[in-house]
């Protein structure tokens, strides 16, 4: 929230005042998006190495034998009143798509939607400053952008990255026997929902914000070092939604241990008191078609696995003989909650279930 003086008047503009859902919880549900995309005739091109068919994090286009371009776009409504923090988180979230594919971010353009009748331009300026800080730390160049008038503020980036055509990390390369690793704790959706009703503790909210503004750049570098082939970032479809994309794209099944999934402090308690965001139910409706839930599964952990994440961690599949080293390096790089949460197995023949959560 920004306050300023204008002609002797006290002006206050709260970014959250017109927001029903912010961050990645504002995305279309995975089921609705899946149905929508069935009628879209996407382009075919020999140089389009990754397109929309596999629901991957970004598109990848081959320029030559040494370079492929990664292209992505992401924006959303505010998740906090602090404009600088919102800018940081929205930028980190958009940049994450490039990092999830093992790429290097090189260029970013701002995408801005902001009310026209607000006299407080400092709010928008702080959003852009927060975004610029993250773009710089990511090693990319901010080269402009586009703004339109909109009642509900929104901010994000169009990001261009590069990667060697033979080193692209996709969500379709999981192999039987791989270990499943998650680099950040989940629970941002429920933490933010709890904050709206004044139930989230101050320290828990700060921890969630710190997690969301943390760049996934170092994860990309570590994945390339260990020649990881399969990964995705966890955002609005929740952990289970993005697990399904890996399972379906790789024609494998994933076994996930709910008790090993790292959780943000306070997330379980909020879920236990019934603070369940609407997006979690939408994600569950989609995921339950493909998930075998253990009868002993804690309901709160089940819903947390469906919680819509904003600027979440990277879910990666590592060969078993590399997993311990990958985890150690990720923890040393600042992803302190990194954990092994499951493994990849052969898909059950004739079964719809691509995952088990126990």
Q: Which residues have C-beta within 8 Å of that of residue 219, sequence separation ≥ 6?
A: 99, 183, 313, 314, 316, 330, 333, 335
Residue 335 φ then ψ, to 5°: -95, 75
Is residue 338 within 8 A of residue 330, CB to CB? The reply is yes
> What Cα–Cα distance (Å) separates residue 138 from each residue in 216, 224, 326?
9, 16, 21
Two structure tokens written together for 51: 């397109």
Q: What is the CA radius of gyration of the chain?
A: 20
Question: Which one, of 180, 193, 278, lies nearest residue 232 by Cα?
Answer: 180
**Sequence-ordered strand ranges (E) for the chain:** 2-6, 9-13, 48-50, 59-62, 68-76, 104-114, 141-149, 154-163, 179-182, 230-233, 252-256, 291-293, 314-318, 339-346, 355-357
Question: What is the rounded CA–CA span in Å between residue 290 and residue 222?
Answer: 30
Is residue 283 within 8 A of residue 241, CB to CB? The reply is yes
The residues assigned a catalytic role are: 24
Classify residue 46 as left (phi > 0), alpha (psi -120 to 50) or beta.
Answer: alpha
């Amino acid at each position: 929230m920004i306050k300023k003086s204008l002609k002797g008047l006290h002006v206050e503009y709260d970014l959250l005042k017109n927001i029903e859902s912010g961050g990645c919880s504002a995305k279309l549900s995975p089921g609705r998006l899946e149905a929508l995309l069935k009628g879209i005739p996407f382009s075919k091109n020999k140089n389009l190495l990754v397109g929309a068919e596999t629901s991957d994090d970004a598109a990848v286009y081959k320029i030559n034998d040494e370079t492929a371009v990664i292209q992505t776009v992401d924006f959303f409504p505010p998740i906090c009143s602090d404009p600088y923090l919102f800018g940081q988180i929205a930028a980190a979230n958009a940049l994450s798509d490039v990092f999830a594919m093992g790429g290097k971010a090189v260029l970013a353009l701002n995408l801005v939607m902001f009310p026209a009748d607000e006299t407080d331009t400092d709010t928008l300026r702080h959003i852009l400053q927060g975004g610029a800080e993250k773009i710089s730390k990511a090693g990319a160049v901010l080269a402009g952008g586009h703004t339109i008038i909109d009642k509900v503020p929104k901010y994000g980036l169009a990001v261009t990255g590069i990667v060697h055509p033979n080193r692209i990390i996709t969500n379709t390369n999981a192999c039987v026997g791989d270990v499943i690793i998650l680099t950040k704790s989940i629970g941002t959706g429920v933490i933010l929902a709890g904050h709206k009703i004044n139930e989230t503790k101050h320290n828990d909210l700060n921890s969630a914000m710190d997690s969301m503004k943390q760049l996934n750049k170092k994860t990309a570098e570590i994945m390339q070092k260990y020649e990881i082939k399969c990964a995705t970032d966890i955002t609005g479809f929740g952990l289970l939604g993005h697990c399904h994309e890996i399972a379906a794209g790789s024609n494998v099944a994933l076994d996930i241990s709910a008790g090993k999934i790292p959780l943000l402090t306070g997330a379980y308690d909020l879920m236990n008191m019934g603070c369940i965001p609407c997006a979690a139910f939408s994600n569950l409706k989609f995921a339950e078609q493909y998930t075998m839930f253990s009868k002993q599964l804690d309901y709160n952990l089940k819903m947390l696995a469906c919680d819509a994440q904003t600027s979440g961690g990277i879910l990666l599949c590592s060969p078993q003989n590399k997993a311990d080293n990958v985890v150690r390096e990720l923890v040393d790089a600042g992803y302190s909650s990194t954990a092994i949460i499951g493994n990849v197995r052969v898909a059950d023949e004739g079964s719809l279930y691509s995952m088990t959560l126990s």
